[in-house]
Amino acid sequence: GDSVTQMEGPVTLSEEAFLTINCTYTATGYPSLFWYVQYPGEGLQLLLKATKADDKGSNKGFEATYRKETTSFHLEKGSVQVSDSAVYFCALKRGNTPLVFGKGTRLSVIA
């Protein structure tokens, strides 16, 4: 079945460091790919998405490119802030089936 694998955390970075969180997927057909973020004490919220190969999703300085040849959707940000500390989830969706989430990666950014 469909699955998402993302790098295990926790990831700890200093403020203004470059961030990469790796995400790869296994799915038949052409899924849509998403990154969700969960801030402390809250539910998840959509960060960005890409619906077809070579699409780049971007939001709040975060970017991810849908790479079909490597089945990847890595999340990147050039300069992280303390306020980016959260748990990040990669997810895929195919047709009308429910989202399939990765296990989440906790990011801590220290000043």
Partner 1 sequence: EADIYQTPRYLVIGTGKKITLECSQTMGHDKMYWYQQDPGMELHLIHYSYGVNSTEKGDLSSESTVSRIRTEHFPLTLESARPSHTSQYLCASSLGLYRLEDNSPLHFGNGTRLTVT
Site residues, partner 1 (CB under 8 A):
32, 34, 36, 38, 41-46, 49, 51, 87, 89, 93, 95-96, 98-99, 101, 103-104, 106
Please state, in angstroms and rounded to a whole number, the distance separating the CA atoms of residues 60 and 50: 15
| Residue 77 CB neighbours (<10 A) | 20
Residue 104 CB, nearest approach to partner 1 (Å): 4
For partner 1, give the closer residue by CB, 4 or 19: 4
For partner 1, give the closer residue by CB, 29 or 70: 29
Residue 28 CB, nearest approach to partner 1 (Å): 14
Please state, in angstroms and rounded to a whole number, the distance separating the CA atoms of residues 19 and 29: 29
For residue 84, which of 9, 4, 17, 5 has the smallest C-alpha distance?
Answer: 17
For partner 1, give the closer residue by CB, 18 or 52: 52
Please state, in angstroms and rounded to a whole number, the distance separating the CA atoms of residues 54 and 110: 33
